[in-house]
Structure formats: C-alpha cells, structure tokens
Amino acid sequence: MRLVRKSTSEAVSLEDGFLWSDEFEWKPIEQKLERAIDGTLIVQEGVKKSGRSIALVPADKEMGWIKRRDLRSLLAWSALQEQFTLEFEYPHDNRHFNVIFNHEAGALEAKPVKDLPTISEDDYYNVTMRFTELDHAN
C-alpha cells in the first residue's frame, strides 16, 4: 500500500499491516423517510457521489508501523489541503482511491512503538490514518 501526493508524484510506502476498519460501513444510498399529513410515506433518496471514510488502523500492536521520517512526511502532507491517491498493492486487491485527509475525524494519530522518546528518523510509530474518498479512481 502507498500514498501518492498527486501534485508531485511523491509517495510514502505503507506496510501491509493496516486494516481498513470502516470499509463495510459505507452506505452508498442517502435516504430520508417522512410522513405526509395523511400518513403517506414520502421517500427521498439518492446515490452518494463521494465522501466515503477510509480509516487505516494497525491490525494489531505488531503491525501498522511507519518510520518517523515517513510519518513526518504524512504530517506535512496533511496540512497541504491537496488530493492524494491511496493505492492498495495486494495480489488480490489493487484498488486506487482519490482521497484527502479527514481532519474532522482526526487525520493522523501516532505513538512510538517502544513507548519511549524516539532517537532516530528510523524509529517506528504505530499510526492510524483517516481519509475521505472524493470520487472513484478505480
């Protein structure tokens, strides 16, 4: 898996230990049910065009690690108000998503793997990343 900054084609590789925790919570239909004064059901519905949440969380404490240097890149990118491509690179799944960081939900959370202050840019962090899909790329 990797995140690609569209404006520059720079990429940060993400290890395979991330779980898309809300993958099946997306409801593609927006629906509102109301009753008319006479009791008749009024249904308004439409297909959502974008806005799907993509939360990538560590599958467990031993997974979902990112080096400090890559985490710093992600943090800087999250402040750019740009679009990115999230690319899955699995043998069974090569979907791509046009995304932005979801700041409303807390775009990035990070904690040192060793629960100690880091001393190197190669030290690892457990990271949770939250994105919003803008439109379908694939």
* Cβ count within 10 A of residue 129: 25
Residue 136 pLDDT? 60
Average pLDDT, the chain: 93
Name the least confident of 9-18, 41-50, 98-107, 128-137: 128-137
Inter-residue long-range contacts of 82-87, CB under 8 Å, 24+ positions, other chains counted:
82/5, 82/6, 82/7, 83/6, 83/134, 84/3, 84/4, 84/5, 84/6, 84/131, 85/3, 85/4, 85/6, 85/137, 86/1, 86/2, 86/3, 86/4, 86/54, 86/131, 87/1, 87/2, 87/3, 87/4
Q: Pinpoint the alpha helices (H) of the chain.
A: 68-78
Read off the amino acid at residue 128.
T
CA distance 71 to 76: 9
pLDDT band at 138 (very low <50, low <70, confident <90, very high): very low
Q: Which residue has the tokens 């008749």?
A: 40
Winning range, highest mean pLDDT, from 35-39, 88-92, 133-137: 35-39
Average pLDDT over residues 13-32: 93
pLDDT band at 94 (very low <50, low <70, confident <90, very high): very high
pLDDT at 47 over 70: yes
